[in-house]
Structure 1
Amino acid sequence: MSESLRMSRRRWVAAWAVTGAVGLVATAVLNASSTPGPRPEEPVSAVCAERIADIEKQLAKARREGEDGVLTFSRVEGGAAGDCDEALRDHFGGGR
């Protein structure tokens, strides 16, 4: 009787090991397939392009003047300027 009990335990352990391995492989496959590809470049609106150019000018001015501090910008609420958040992150690399 103990021999059949040992075989039964071995089968259960083997079944759990196979189930775990299959789960790990399935998780890896799903993670690899759901990785988003690079986003296509979307055109930036004129308002956003103007805002980005203004920020670039301010950054260039700060570099020329040798300022080592932090350059900050206040948020503009509402309107088209609020729609530029994603374009600003893409341009200045904040969405990495």
Structure 2
Amino acid sequence: MPKPLRMSRRMWVATWAVLCVAALAATAALNASPPPDPQPEKPVSAECAEYIADIEKKLARAKAEGNDDGVLAFTRTRVGADDCGDAILDHFRAGR
């Protein structure tokens, strides 16, 4: 069985210092890189656009009435309606 290599404390400290400097250099390089290009907006169906506009109207009406707590409940009762959940989330998250 071969003997394991023994390293002195100075060698361990030097190795640790080199790794820290490499990590700092990599972090600086990543922070200096430009942000990725914004993704293009997904097209929204006419039905979803109408529904989003209706939500905007209801939010504006609630704000005008002084109910500006940001909580409104909506229901959809039509069968076969488009699922607009992702479009609604994308629309209202864009302002954040």
**Root mean square deviation of aligned Cα:** 3.4
What is residue 66 of structure 1 aligned with on the other side? 66
Residues 16, 56 of structure 1: alpha-carbon distance in 2 compared, 3 angstrom cutoff:
same
Q: How many residues end up aligned between the 2 structures?
A: 87
Answer 1 or 2: which has greater helix percent: 1
Could you tell me the TM-score, scaled by structure 1's length?
A: 0.59
Structure 2's unaligned 5+ residue stretches are 1-7
Does the Cα contact within 8 Å between 1:89 and 1:95 map onto a contact in 2? Answer: no
The alignment status of 1:50 with 2:50, answered yes or no, reads yes
SS at match of 2:54: helix
- Offset at residue 53 of structure 1 (A): 0.9
Residues 18, 70 of structure 1: alpha-carbon distance in 2 compared, 3 angstrom cutoff:
closer
Q: Deviations over 1:43-75 (max 9, x none)?
A: 211121011011012112223333345532246
Alpha-carbon separation, structure 1, partners of 2:75 and 2:24: 45
What is residue 22 of structure 1 aligned with on the other side? 22
Structure 1's unaligned 5+ residue stretches are 1-7
Residues 67, 30 of structure 1: alpha-carbon distance in 2 compared, 3 angstrom cutoff:
closer
Matched to 2:82, the amino acid is A
Between stretches 47-56 and 19-28, larger displacement belongs to: 19-28
Could you tell me the TM-score, scaled by structure 2's length?
A: 0.59
